[in-house]
Amino acid sequence: MKIAVIQGPNLNMLGVREQHIYGHMTLDQVHEQLKSQADQNGLELEFFQSNLEGEIVDKIQECLGTADAILINPAAYTHTSIAIRDALAAVAIPTVEVHISNLYKREEFRQNSITAASATGIIAGFGPFGYHLGLISLTQILNEMQAMQQAQAEEQAQAPQTAPAV
């Protein structure tokens, strides 16, 4: 199973910017820990970070047919980007939105997520550990989908075959 990890604007500055909110881990350290978790669970991760909204939209669209799920932190675009929301809705694959800080303890403008409407679920406020929770969530969702597809295939295989009417 392949999961695209998409990081929005300023997340490349983790470990430097507002450490009292975002902590001391760098984005590379977050990704290394996620890769370790993914390796233990037989998952393939693809990492992507951009400060540009259009590049994030392009990356989401590229996930259609190439990724089984998306783990995304839209960062500041969470509160402003209808384009990212629409791209997530268009690809319609399991998506978990992650936020390092608790949006609801922040400024009022940060308490609204436009992109959340297109996510399967949201994890916020657990620091970098939220990415791990997101990966666990997506693994469970994908395993359930796979089990359902397998059960449907078995059900179809066991269904009596009827001859066409003459």
79 is catalytic: no
* Residue pLDDT tens, the chain, 166 long: 999 999 999 999 988 877 777 777 899 999 999 999 999 999 999 999 999 999 999 999 999 999 999 999 999 999 999 999 999 999 999 999 999 987 766 667 566 788 989 999 999 999 999 999 999 999 999 999 999 998 888 888 887 776 666 6
31, 77, 79, 99: which is the annotated catalytic residue? 99
Q: Are 109 and 88 in contact (CB under 8 A)?
A: no
Residue 88 CA to residue 98 CA, distance in Å, equals 14
Phi, psi dihedral angles at 43 (to 5 degrees): -105, 150
For residue 44, is it within any domain?
yes
For residue 24, is it within any domain?
yes
Angle, alpha carbons 82-55-42 (nearest 5°)? 100
Locate 42 and state its tokens.
């037989």
Residue 105 CA to residue 126 CA, distance in Å, equals 12
| Structural domain harbouring 40 | 2-158
For residue 89, is it within any domain?
yes
For residue 164, is it within any domain?
no
For residue 39, is it within any domain?
yes
**How many distinct structural domains can be found in the chain?**
1
24 is catalytic: no
CATH number, domain containing residue 58: 3.40.50.9100
Radius of gyration of the chain (CA): 18
Whole-model pTM?
0.87
Phi, psi dihedral angles at 140 (to 5 degrees): -65, -45
Q: β-strands 69-73, 44-49: how paired?
A: unpaired
22, 31, 77, 131: which is the annotated catalytic residue? 22
Residue 7 CA to residue 90 CA, distance in Å, equals 19
